Structure 1
């Protein structure tokens, strides 16, 4: 059974390990210090909302990170569900579903009109989860990226 709660600065070290695993899932090199620094900035700037899943022993088993934004067309708040990660050994046990449901509930509590996310085309496991929770694939817009670095 997964318990979901808001992450705190006290979760920083364990959360950094999860973030590092998430980045490695997306073929980025492991860098625990950079993950820790990034999360420390998020807590310091309060520019994202992070929920964590805990197993029965209190060990973090996954996280979801949301970034607030707005829609000019919709004249409302929209949050980007930017990150969802569950430890491999905790998958297929409801952790991802619990995190997604908690993110949706948090958005409702804050009057957010829409959650949006993107996932890799090959990530069929995640797509199945999202669609089972009522998420709809966007077929009306193309996504574009521009590296400005």
Structure 2
């Protein structure tokens, strides 16, 4: 894969960006336990990242572009957002955790669809709208269920 990235960085003059979980470490301190990682392999990874994440054409096309780590839920991998306009960066004020129980609720799919379709903003802002909307939906649902539980218990 590293050879392919190196070749791509040399041979391709169209804009490109490579981002993702390469399942590799750059420095020894990033790893705990197990067999030690080969230092040459880490050096190759660092060199590839320096010259291979985005080429000059991509950086010229998106001079304020950045790759951001978004909050994650149950995985140990962060979702990435390639933001071509860093003036509109995603700032996760709080960590958003998707709750599995939401999918068991009959109203979830409709609520999510309504929230998503209520916004015609750029993706980053649309994701913020979904985050806020799902939190509000879940809070209302919990309040309603709590009230129903109190009535039934009484």
TM-score, length of structure 1 as denominator length: 0.25
More strand as a share of residues: 1
More helix as a share of residues: 2
Whichever of the two has the greater Rg, that structure is 2
Q: Which has the higher contact order (CA 8 A, sep 6+)?
A: 1
TM-score, length of structure 2 as denominator length: 0.24
